[in-house]
Amino acid sequence: MTEPKSNAEVLGEADILQRKTKESVIRLQNQADQMEILADGTIEQLKEQRHQMDRIQLDVDSTDEELVKSKKLLNRFGKWSGHWAGRDKRAAKAEAEASIKRDQKREKVFRRIKGVPSSMKLKRRDSSDLKNGKLKVKSIRKAETPITPTNDIGKEEIDKLDDEEREGLAKIKKNDNEIDQMLDHVSSSLDTLASLSLIMREETQMQTTKLEEVNADVTKTTKDFYEVNSRMRRFGR
């Protein structure tokens, strides 16, 4: 029959368990802190990328306005020089469309060589991943009972402990409180990471939509450029 462990042995085992628990929680907190730093940096990069797309959009809009002016001038010049504007427009438009198709074909070949998919879609999270606009994170909760065997020790048992055992018991209780505080801190960090993750998700989705709009505008402007360039060459013939 196994002899019951002494109070000193039980307290010693509890102390070892608590030290290991604290080390694990500290590692978890350090990892959460590092992830938060990375998330903050990623959000800043995403914001800068959004600003860059806004600048590109402004440049595209400005170029498009200049091309509209060029088309109007070509129409006036066509009437003045006796060119048949309708025929030139149709021929230039057909040439521009052919140039766009050629560019798109080259882009597909380039993407295939580089291993980049021709169409990159943002995968939406399942609705179950969201709750009231926030990502669900399983927060770390305090255990209903401490992780040590000291919870059921009554006053009579405590009175039987010697000074060294009482000191060990006080240390265990102190560690319990410290671990609870550390777990609360980790839980708060996880909530922060959930919020940052939601911000990155929304920013990425917004930029995906913006990128599609910019890409469509660039394609249209490029086509207009080819068309204007084609018409200008025809005047020189």
* Nearest alpha-carbon partner for 230 in 130, 83, 116: 83
Residue 31 reports pLDDT greater than 50: yes
- Report how far residue 38's alpha carbon sits from residue 143's, in angstroms, rounded to the nearest whole number: 31
Q: What is the reported pTM?
A: 0.59
Question: Per-residue pLDDT tens for 202-219?
Answer: 999 999 998 899 888 888
The reported pLDDT for the residue numbered 176 is: 87
Contact 193, 31 (CB under 8 A): no
- Report how far residue 215's alpha carbon sits from residue 53's, in angstroms, rounded to the nearest whole number: 10
Question: Per-residue pLDDT tens for 142-193?
Answer: 443 444 444 445 555 655 667 777 788 888 888 888 888 888 888 888 888 8
Sorting pLDDT into bands at 50, 70 and 90, what band is 44? very high
Which stretch of 14-28, 67-81, 113-127, 207-221 has the lowest confidence by average pLDDT?
113-127
Which stretch of 10-14, 39-43, 160-164 has the lowest confidence by average pLDDT?
160-164
Q: At a CB cut-off of 8 Å and minimum separation 6, what does 145 contact? A: 151
Sorting pLDDT into bands at 50, 70 and 90, what band is 118? very low
**CA distances for 35 relative to 25, 38, 41, 191, angstroms:** 15, 5, 10, 12
Question: Per-residue pLDDT tens for 130-151?
Answer: 344 443 434 444 443 444 444 4
Residue 57 reports pLDDT greater than 70: yes
* Nearest alpha-carbon partner for 78 in 231, 229, 237: 231
